[in-house]
Chain A
């Protein structure tokens, strides 16, 4: 399990900031438009994943062989990091949105 976790973090590392930028864009939409913005949020996140795959494909596709030699296909690695990213996005949204909504509620 530790081995798999390490490999996932290695794979996620160069894509972390790209995903973070798209996550903040999505959270900004949620703050501005509330839950009505959910379809846009989904589109933003999906577009972020497309950017990640393109970035990896054009700049470090050769490193797929590192993960394959560790017994894991590129498709599986993408599945793992996108699940990890969704969990991070939910966590980040919760941390940012709950105080924001609470503050708005208190202000009346």
Chain B
């Protein structure tokens, strides 16, 4: 399996003259899980959407293996799990999954209870947690080389979160994963490396004490 590297640099984002993102550098290679932490409103989701290509900003440089990407989602290079539900209503889940999931991962995907138990239902027939699990699973098993997960642990139970962490680690054997969530302990648990978004800048976090230093945590 060839190795790829995603690089994000010089992102500048402003809302009403207020600088949200200004000094950003982020890289992620296939086989790696990068955790992205930050306070509410610091621009984590915006940064992921900029990388994905669904949010425009003043300036951005996103590349994979040195090749500039105009839109991250073109040619299935990057997949993104948004905070909201994204599956179209009124269509059977197996019909939605077939064109979406990577054929190489199809057997593994079909074994997952989140799909197996609900494949003949539509999204309206699932609970919030079941739908979140399914949507996350579909993103993880999509064609993309890089996976951006925005709050994948929200709306799911602790046991399901543990299962999801195993799945994310499996996925990271062949893909690069960037994950962000306010359940920082789950992010710390699953990630190989942590980046903190603070005042529009990315900061490398070497130990949990750094999170206290940067005032993301009040104490450990």
Contact = CB atoms under 8 A, between A and B. Distances in A.
B76 interface: yes
Taking chain B's interface residues, is the majority helix, strand, or loop, or is none over half, making it mixed? loop
B115 interface: no
Interface centre among A2, A13, A66 (most CB of B within 10 A): A66
A43 B211 CA distance: 59
A62 B80 contact: no
Taking chain A's interface residues, is the majority helix, strand, or loop, or is none over half, making it mixed? helix
Given A69-B142, A69-B144, A71-B76, A3 B86 contact: no
A66 B71 contact: no
Interface residues of A, number: 20
B75 interface: yes
A6 B73 CA distance: 18
B143 A71 contact: yes
Interface in A45-98: 60, 62-66, 68-71, 73
B84 interface: yes
B189 interface: no
Contact of B73 (A3, A7, A60, A73): A73
A29 B140 CA distance: 50
Interface centre among A3, A11, A13, A68 (most CB of B within 10 A): A68
B142 A3 contact: no
Interface of A: 2-4, 6-7, 10-11, 13-14, 60, 62-66, 68-71, 73
Interface of B: 52-54, 71, 73-76, 79-80, 82, 84-91, 95-96, 98-100, 139, 142-144
27 contacts: A3-B98, A6-B98, A10-B91, A10-B99, A13-B88, A13-B91, A14-B90, A60-B89, A62-B84, A62-B85, A62-B86, A65-B82, A66-B86, A66-B87, A66-B96, A68-B53, A69-B73, A69-B86, A69-B142, A69-B144, A70-B99, A70-B100, A70-B142, A71-B73, A71-B74, A71-B76, A71-B143
